[in-house]
C-alpha cells in the first residue's frame, strides 16, 4: 500500500515538473539595465566625394568595381567604414565617437547586409567600446543585431540593438539609428 502511494506521488510530482518546464506562451519581460540611443552617418565614396566620404567599397563581385555598388542587391560588396556617431540625427552635430567596421552584402535575392563593427566612444559621459554583430535585413523597418560585448564603461556588457534606417539618400548617404539595450551590465 505504502509503495502504491509513493508511486502515485512520484508520477504526480513528475507531472508537475514536466508541466512547469513547458515554455510559457508569454515572452519573458526582460528589462534592460542600461539604454542608449545613438546615430551614425555613412557617406560612401563614389569617385567624387573623397573629402567627405566616410566609407569605401573594398571588395566587389566579378564584373563590378570599387566605385559603384554592384547591381543585383549589391551581392558580394564589402564596405569598410569610419563613421561619426552623434546623439541626434544631425550629421553636423559634434560627434561623440566613431562607428568603425564593415558591412557585407551577403544575400543574392534581397537587400541584406551583415554588420560587424564597434562604437568607440570618448565623451565625458561614456568612454569605451561597444561591439556589434548581426544580420541586417535593410528593408525591414526595425531589425535587431547583437551587442556582443564592450570595454571601458561597457566592460562585459551584452544586449541587443534595434537598428532603423533614419535617412537614406541614394547610394551615397545613410543614417542609422541604434536603440541599444544592455541586458547584462557590470
Ligand atoms: C562635402 O560636404 C559639403 C557640405 O555637406 C559640401 O558642400 C561639399 O561639396 C562636399 N564635398 C565633396 C568633395 O563632396
Ligand atoms: C564602375 O562601374 C560603373 C557601373 O558599372 C561604371 O559606370 C563606372 O564607370 C565604373 N568605374 C570605373 C572606375 O571603372
Ligand atoms: C579621448 O578624448 C580625450 C580628450 O579629447 C583625448 O585626450 C584622448 O586621447 C581620447 N581618447 C581616445 C581613446 O581617443
Give the CATH number for residue 162. 2.40.480.10
34-47 average pLDDT score:
96
Confidence band (pLDDT; 50, 70, 90) for 23? low
Q: What is the mean pLDDT of residues 81-102?
A: 96
Q: How confident is the model at residue 73 (pLDDT cuts 50, 70, 90)?
A: very high
The answer to whether position 160 is within a domain reads yes
Residue 170's pLDDT is 82
Question: What's the CA-to-centroid distance between 52 and ligand 1, angstroms?
Answer: 6
Residue 39, in any domain of the structure: yes
Quick check: is 59 in a domain?
yes
Please give the distance, rounded to the nearest whole angstrom, from the Cα atom of residue 30 to the centre of ligand 2: 49
Q: Please determine, for residue 9, whether its predicted confidence score (pLDDT) is greater than 60.
A: no
Work out the average pLDDT over 2-22: 54
Share of the chain above pLDDT 90, in %: 78
Distance CA 176, CA 164 (A): 6
- Which residues form the pocket of ligand 2, taking CB atoms under 6 Å from any ligand atom? 65, 67-68
> Residue 160's domain spans which residues?
33-184
Centroid of ligand 2 to alpha carbon of 66 (angstroms): 8
- What atom of ligand 1 comes closest to residue 52's alpha carbon? 1
Give the mean pLDDT of the chain.
Answer: 89
Does residue 9 lie in a domain region?
A: no
183 touches 30 (CB < 8 A) = yes
Q: What is the domain count for the chain? A: 1
- Mean pLDDT, residues 30-45 taken together: 95
Nearest ligand 1 atom to the CA of 53 is: 14
* Residue at 15 is within a domain: no
- CB-side neighbour CA atoms (13 Å) of 22: 9
Q: Are 66 and 50 in contact (CB under 8 A)?
A: no
Closest CA to 55 of 178, 173, 169: 173
Instruction: For residue 3, tell me if it sits in a domain.
Output: no
Pocket of ligand 1 (CB under 6 A): 49, 51-52
In-domain check, residue 82: yes
Let me know if residue 7 belongs to a domain. no
Predicted confidence band of residue 20 (pLDDT cuts 50, 70, 90) = low
Query: 126: burial class by Cβ within 10 Å (0-12, 13-18, 19+)?
Result: middle
* Ligand 3 mean position, distance from CA 121 (Å): 9
The protein residue whose alpha carbon is closest to atom 3 in ligand 1 is 52
Residue identifier of the C-alpha nearest atom 14 of ligand 1: 49
Task: Give the number of the ligand closest to the Cα of residue 92.
Answer: 1
Q: Provide the pLDDT for residue 171.
A: 82
Amino acid at each position: 500500500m505504502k509503495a502504491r502511494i509513493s508511486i502515485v506521488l512520484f508520477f504526480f510530482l513528475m507531472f508537475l515538473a514536466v508541466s512547469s518546464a513547458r515554455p510559457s506562451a508569454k515572452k519573458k519581460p526582460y528589462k534592460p539595465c542600461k539604454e542608449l540611443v545613438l546615430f551614425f552617418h555613412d557617406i560612401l565614396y563614389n569617385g567624387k566625394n573623397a573629402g567627405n566620404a566616410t566609407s569605401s567599397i573594398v571588395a566587389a563581385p566579378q564584373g563590378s568595381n570599387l566605385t559603384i555598388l554592384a547591381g543585383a542587391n549589391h551581392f558580394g560588396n564589402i564596405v569598410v567604414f569610419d563613421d561619426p556617431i552623434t546623439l541626434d540625427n544631425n550629421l553636423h552635430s559634434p560627434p561623440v565617437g566613431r562607428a568603425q567596421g564593415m558591412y557585407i552584402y551577403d544575400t543574392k535575392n534581397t537587400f541584406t547586409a551583415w554588420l560587424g563593427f564597434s562604437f568607440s566612444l570618448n565623451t565625458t559621459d561614456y568612454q569605451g567600446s561597444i561591439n556589434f554583430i548581426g544580420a541586417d535585413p535593410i528593408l525591414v523597418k526595425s531589425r535587431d543585431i547583437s551587442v556582443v560585448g564592450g570595454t571601458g564603461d561597457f566592460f562585459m556588457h551584452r544586449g541587443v540593438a534595434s537598428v532603423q534606417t533614419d535617412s537614406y539618400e541614394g547610394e551615397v548617404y545613410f543614417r542609422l539609428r541604434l536603440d541599444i539595450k544592455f541586458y547584462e551590465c557590470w
